[in-house]
Structure 1
Amino acid sequence: MAKYRKKPVIVEAVKLTRSITIETSNGTMKGLPGDYLITDADGEQYPCDRNQFEAEYELVKGQIDLKEIFQKAFLYIRTKIYKT
């Protein structure tokens, strides 16, 4: 029997910090803290359970996370200011 691999699909996602309820094409869905909110290529958003998300998706290598860079920079600057 032939073997098949699921084609890679790139989505944008953010880890939820609070509960949300969102309307999708599949009806009303609820996301809990720790779950991920996915935005697919068509722009539709839907929550995904953390365990399922982390099993099925991996971070795209080579991307730049500007939010993380700014957060680290501000933390570094704030630390330097308060040490002075």
Structure 2
Amino acid sequence: MTKYRKKPIVVEAVKLTRSITIETSNGTMKGLPGDYLITDKNGEQYPYDRDRFENEYELVKGQIDLKEMFRKSFSFVKTKVYKLKTED
């Protein structure tokens, strides 16, 4: 999971692609597509509004974004396979 820093707090977060409802210690919370699902240092998860998140958090530098790396790798492999098939 990608890490983000809220000055000076670091959390793990993913951008939601669908609506979710989650039970937290503060009650039931809803997240919408585009919002972020945060996992805090205690392991608790909760949705966070996209605009607030992007204003209050910054990406922790020096880490590898595995999702992006795999996307680029598979795109590269797909292109190579397509070229091989069209050359036959």
TM-score (norm 1): 0.89
Instruction: Give the Cα separation in 1 of the matches to 2:66 and 2:17.
Output: 19
- Higher relative CO (Cα under 8 Å, sequence separation at least 6) belongs to 2
Counterpart residue identity of residue 20, structure 2? I
Identity over aligned residues, as a percent? 78
1:58 aligns to what? Answer: 58
Cross-structure match for 1:39: 39
Q: Which structure 2 residues correspond to residues 1-80 of structure 1 after superposition, within 5 A?
A: 7-80=7-80
Change beyond 3 A, Cα 1:76–1:7: closer
- Deviation, structure 1 residue 42: 0.4
Q: Distance between the aligned counterparts of 1:60 and 1:73, measured in 2?
A: 23
TM-score (norm 2): 0.85
Q: How far apart, in 2, do the equivalents of 1:67 and 1:17 lie?
A: 14
Structure 1 segments unaligned to the other structure (5+ residues): 1-5
Report how many residues are paired: 79
How far does residue 7 in structure 1 lie from its aligned partner after superposition?
4.8
Q: 2:10 and 2:80 mapped to 1: Cα distance?
A: 38
